[in-house]
Amino acid sequence: MDFQSVKGKVVVVTGASRGIGAAIAKLYGASGMKVVCAARSKEQGQAVADEICGKGGDAIFIRTDCSDASQVKALIDGAVAHYGCLDGVVSNAGIGQGGSPLHEYETEDYDKIFDLNSKGVFAGMKYGAEAILRSHSKGGFLINVASIAGLMPQRGQALYTATKFGVVGMTRVAALDYAKYGITVNAICPGYTKTSIFGDAPEQAMEFFANDCPAGRMGNPEECAYLALFLASDMARYITGAAIPVDGALSAGSKNVTSWKHPEILEEEN
């Protein structure tokens, strides 16, 4: 597997201050990409950029509130102004909001989550696509970090699920729009992943998430980052319009009671 093709590519990563976004930014930087880290937290976002540079990479930080489309435009413009071109955008910034029946949400909740999870992603794709086209990138890509909630509805998550279904839909349509022009557009759909989106969830809740997953554990941000690196490389130029789960089979189907006829195979020595 050769990732030489990503070296020198200029990429914007939103929500890069922590979790999946930070993991993607760091892996991109370690792989020779020029990374523009964007986040609301200046302290945390700058720390990620500094870490990349401290390990020999090339990165800058631009403070951005992705719920404001004008700031997303300024982010893309800033990336092009600094590096002279743009090859890719990873729209990762988002918030969680769930655990309540639909009628208990307020219209203010709708505005808050749609401004970031939906409009923010749209702005990243819109201004990113324009900049990539103007840059005449030979390996342009847009990657949206959605969720398995964009593939399968989850009880108590009406608004979050709606935004992630929208992200998957926009991803697929944009893939059709830009396939002819060599820009790939894909969505990464994480399952239960160990990030701050779970906040101060009690240990009992974290155990539930791990046990609910067929793999028997929660995922790590780096496991999404590995996919993001592959999708940015020349090895993935024919992959576009995909919504790819990284979820330990959580979205593959419902669990059921099963019994093995020959469990002794697990005890056999090689």
> Which residues are annotated as catalytic?
160
Residue 37 dihedral angles phi and psi, to the nearest 5° = -85, 130
Gap between the Cα atoms of 152 and 134, Å rounded: 36
256's torsion region: left (phi>0), alpha (psi -120 to 50) or beta?
A: beta
